[in-house]
Amino acid sequence: MGVKLTVIVAARDPGPAGQACVRSLQEQSMRAIDYDVVFIDRGSVDGTAEHLDAVVATSPNVRLFRVEPEVDPGRCWNLGIAEAEGEYVYLIDGEDRLRPDALRRMHAVATAGDADVLVGKVSSAGRPREVFRKNRERADILRDHLLQDLTARKLFRRGFLRAEGIEFTERGGEQVFVLEAYLKAKVVSVLADYLCCERGDARPGLTEIDAVLDVIDACTEPGPQRDRLYAHWQRVALRRGESLERFPVDVDRYLPLALRNRATLTREGHLATLAELARAEHPMGLRCAVQDLSWDAGVVVMDLTAELVYPGGESVRLTREGDRLLLRPPVESVEALDVTDAVEATRLDVFVQGREDREEYFLPAIRKVEVDETGRILVTAQARLDVGSAGLGRPLAEGTWDVHVRMRCGGYGAQAPLGPPGSEQAGRTRPGALAGYPKRLVVPYWTPERTLSLRVQPGSFIESIALVSEETRVARRDGHVYVGLPVPYVPPSGGPAVELVLRSGDRAVLAPALVEPGPSGRLPGQLMAKVPIGMFQVAGSLGPGSWTAALCAEGEETELRWGLQVAVTGRVTVCVESPAPGVAHRLGELSLGVVQRMPRVLRLVRALRAAHRR
């Protein structure tokens, strides 16, 4: 059997990202005899050309072609398709990287469904896309939101492209190429449960809308599908401020309500009003807050509220007229919109996004929409995160996952990280838990910006404490400062021996620490340390000034997100990184019982460590 798949790479001065691209292609799980790679170098002068020469000399499945620098990526991909030997071709840029199992998975899904086009999941720029909500064997261009991904990074059957005469043109660019392939393909499949390609910095240029509409006219018959395709590109034209001459008025009914207003203003030539409306409504914001955070049998449960706000932070408000709900845009000359049906259809999505690779997954959520007595559109929702299956049935990868919320209503929409907490109770540190299979530690925590994130499998016991260390408490008694750090999870062994390290300039104070039971019903443990304090800068004790904090275990230090401020009066304050209301804590917040137990606890620590050394 011949080559199954050819990867075509258009590259020009990709820098270090180009070397990462090459490595990702060489480290594929698919056998080297089953795929080949065609590089089209566009006159690179950053060392890429020499690197590719070395790769070709040592890799029998890699070929290299060189073209002039002014040749655009589309023509490079055309050349690569003409030279390809595989049944399928996959198109990428020299700054992109493929995941190790990408080619094997994409080829398996494409051949299983006899697909002409396979849309493999590509990292986003921060906005989740409905097209990757789930795997689809036979996707529909409109129902399954294929228009959300019009980049060239896809698997195409080479024979299909040749038979249909699909190629890149100077007018259209990659978006027109992909749109034509979508419309002419018998089967388009979507692989959503595996991130296939991590995109580099290269972004597609602006596409000529006339070129797009020409393809739609050539590939569809007049009717609802053509009108809905036109409506998608009419949104693009409105965002760009371009003419609507080619868009029939009948297409407006497929636009969201807010955009119908703008289309009318554009057609009637009210450009000054349109500009005023754009300034008043863009960008819309989202105010969202956690009301409660809990665990339910290994699943993180998030109760939250959300509402849309104008750029200045004022809530979007509706007025009632009989049984109808009207939205009056923040420009007096613009007509009110009847949004009754749109409010009932309000969408709210909760999703997690990997901080390292920008991979995102939607979470199951139950939502309720209501309009309060002041006209605000309020959404309450409960989202559930099971780390063992949140990745479309697969476990979430280890690392940090940020929680985001997106709300849409009547053409208005906004997205924001989940937070800050809606109450002091909601903002408190929550325990971590072993979840999924195999069991992994999951620690919910608040970032310095007071937004919600989760760390799946922290690198160490100390790292899990550092994540939630902003809720550190201090108390002073009998010439000492007692420091209590929250511990989100206590391992069966009790954890390694730990020291609290406080530094001010070239001075350092070290104090042994031990895990004690945490506040009843809230946290499994707290790490306690006793530090001497004096009025002067004496070695081995705290004195006036600012002190940074770290934890040391097994010879390695981990910085904490707080420090101590010692006043000349002897008062000690915990200062948290990016402090927010309710975060900075002062003296006396440790319970008296904990302080009284500390001397006995520390004597026990010293005895255990002495026995261990013997």
Q: What is the CATH number of the domain that holds 33?
A: 3.90.550.10
In this structure, the answer to whether residues 23 and 57 fall within a common structural domain is: yes
Tell whether 152 and 261 lie within a shared domain.
Answer: no
Q: Report the domain count for the chain.
A: 4
Q: Which domain holds residue 345?
A: 285-456
Q: What is the pLDDT of residues 102-138, one digit of tens each?
A: 999 999 999 999 999 999 999 876 678 999 999 999 9
Shared domain for 230 and 330, answered yes or no, is no
pLDDT at residue 428 in the model: 84
Residue 214 CA to residue 176 CA, distance in Å, equals 10
Whether 31 and 95 map to the same domain: the answer is: yes
> Is residue 233 located within the same domain as residue 172?
no
Average pLDDT, integer, range 593-603: 50
Residues 429 and 515 placed together within one structural domain of the fold? no
334-392 pLDDT tens trace? 999 999 999 999 999 999 999 988 899 999 999 999 999 999 999 999 999 999 999 99
Note the pLDDT of residue 603. Answer: 53
The pLDDT score that the predictor gives to residue 597 is 53
Determine what percent of the chain is predicted with pLDDT higher than 70: 92
pLDDT of residue 562: 92
- Write b or e for each residue in 10-33: b if 16 or more Cβ atoms lie within 10 A of its Cβ, otherwise e: bbbbbeebbebbbebbeebebeee
pLDDT of 79 reads 97
Percent of the chain with pLDDT over 90: 79
Domain boundary among 434, 456, 478: 456
Q: Closest by alpha carbon to 174, among 230, 244, 93?
A: 93
451 plus 469 within the same structural domain? no
Q: What is the per-residue pLDDT for 357?
A: 84
Confidence of residue 576 (pLDDT cuts 50, 70, 90): confident
Average pLDDT in the 80-92 region? 97
Residue 319: name the closest of 367, 262, 276, 376 by CA: 376
Predicted local distance difference test score (pLDDT) of residue 227: 97
What's the pLDDT score for residue 535?
Answer: 75
Q: Return all residues near 417 (Cβ < 8 A) that are at least 6 apart.
A: 402, 403, 404, 405, 447, 449, 451, 452
Rounded distance, CA 5 to CA 104, Å?
Answer: 9
Tell me the pLDDT tens digit for each residue of 405-455. 999 999 999 999 998 888 877 888 889 999 999 999 999 999 989 999 999
- Statement to judge: residues 320 and 351 lie in one domain: yes
Residue 583's pLDDT band (cuts 50, 70, 90): very low
Q: What is the CATH number of the domain that holds 413?
A: 2.60.40.10
> In terms of Cα–Cα distance, which of 188, 181, 191, 204 is closest to 92?
204
Same domain, 217 and 143: no
With cut-offs at 50, 70 and 90, classify the pLDDT of residue 203.
low
Sign (positive/negative) of CA torsion 310, 315, 321, 324? positive
* pLDDT per residue as tens digits for the range 154-187: 999 999 999 999 999 988 789 999 999 999 999 9
* 141 and 90, same domain (yes or no): yes
* Confidence at residue 422, expressed as pLDDT on a 0 to 100 scale: 84
Domain boundary among 456, 486, 510: 456
H or E element at residue 211 = helix 209-219
Last residue of a domain, one of 413, 435, 456: 456
For residue 257, CA distances in Å to 76, 260, 329 come to 42, 5, 11
- What digits encode the pLDDT tens for the residues 504-539? 999 999 999 999 988 777 889 999 999 999 877 678
Looking at the fold, whether 355 and 451 belong to one and the same domain comes out as: yes
Residues 197 and 249 both lie in one domain: no
Average per-residue pLDDT in the chain? 90
pLDDT in tens, 1-43: 689 999 999 999 998 999 999 999 999 999 999 999 999 999 9
